Amino acid sequence: MADEVQVQQSTHPLASPNTYPRSDTEALATAYYGAARDHRKKTNRKKCLLYILLFLLFQTGIILLFTLTVLKIKSPKFRIHSATLHNVTTALAPESPSLNLTIHAELAVQNPNFGRFKFEKSYMNLFCRGMEVGRVLIPKGLSNWRSTEKFEVIMDLKIDSGERASDLSAGVVPINSRGKLRGNVRFMMAWTRKRSSDMNCSMDVLVSNREIKNIVC
């Protein structure tokens, strides 16, 4: 009988002498550190989402700025940059006053775009108080991106009308020039947009001084 009791007692292992029950302080510390770890994870997730949102806003701003500046295609400007007077011949006869002159003009095509402007040949007409007195061919050309292309033309004018006798007598003849350039703006060898540019310039021909003043476009 004693042997049976001893066997039954030996089947139940004894508790380790180094094992102690967890105290309430340790449980609270474990819960505190667990909550702090969860809070840090949540804070890191919020920071990550904030950084992603800021990056997306930055990228959107860059794309918007690029679209409004680089990709926005404007119409080039077509102007008379300078002009000089040559070969002036006047006839102040009372019945048929006339004026023949040659103007050497430097024209300018200003391209404000980030793509080159290739324009076709055109014509520029010259008027004196509404009457056409000359016409000149504008050759086809190219204005590079964000630059101004300048070229010279020679304009022959013939003014012979009694209505302009007062201008010839005063020695100041008002001239108006009108023209239109048509072409394409090509951007990054990918996009092409049609654009045109109108010229409407005025100037005064001083016959006696053989010079041109007051060029306004």
Query: What digits encode the pLDDT tens for the residues 92-119?
Result: 666 677 888 899 999 999 999 988 999 9
The domain spanning residue 122 has which CATH number?
Answer: 2.60.40
Residue of 59 and 1 predicted with greater confidence: 59
Place of tokens 């409407």: 200
| Strand ordering across the sheet containing 147-159 | 77-91, 98-111, 147-159
Query: For the chain, what percent of residues have pLDDT higher than 90?
Result: 41
State the Cα–Cα distance between residues 107 and 203, nearest whole angstrom.
14
Domain count of the fold of the chain: 2
What local confidence, expressed as pLDDT, does residue 38 receive? 67
More confident residue, 170 or 145: 145
Most confident residue range from 40-44, 45-49, 135-139: 135-139
Asked if residue 205 is part of any domain, the answer here is yes
CA distance 21 to 23: 6
3-state SS of the chain: helix, strand, coil percent to 5? 30, 45, 25
Q: Are residues 187 and 83 in the same domain?
A: yes
Q: Are strands 191-206 and 211-216 parallel, antiparallel or unpaired?
A: antiparallel
Would residue 81 count as lying in a domain?
Answer: yes
Which of these, 214, 123, 217, 134, lies nearest to 174 by C-alpha position? Answer: 214
Q: What is the phi-psi region of residue 37: left when phi exceeds 0, alpha when psi lies from -120 to 50, beta otherwise?
A: alpha
167 is a domain residue: yes
Kindly provide the residue ranges of all beta strands, DSSP E only, lying in 31-76, ordered along the sequence.
Answer: none
Say if pTM beats, i.e. exceeds, 0.75: no
d(CA 127, CA 175) in angstroms, rounded, equals 6
58-80 burial, b for 16+ CB within 10 Å, e for fewer? eeeeeeeeeeeeeeebeebbbbb
Integer Cα distance of 47 and 39 in angstroms: 12
pLDDT for the residue 2: 47
Tokens of 197: 């540019």
Within a domain: residue 32? yes
Q: Which of 89, 79, 210, 206 is nearest to 157 (CA)?
A: 89
Name the nearest CA neighbour of 113 among 217, 187, 194: 187
CB–CB of 124/135 below 8 Å? yes
Look at residue 16 and tell me if it is in a domain: no
Same domain? 157 vs 203? yes
Higher pLDDT: 209 or 78? It is 78
Q: Would you state the pLDDT for residue 28?
A: 57
Domain extent, residue 192, equals 77-216
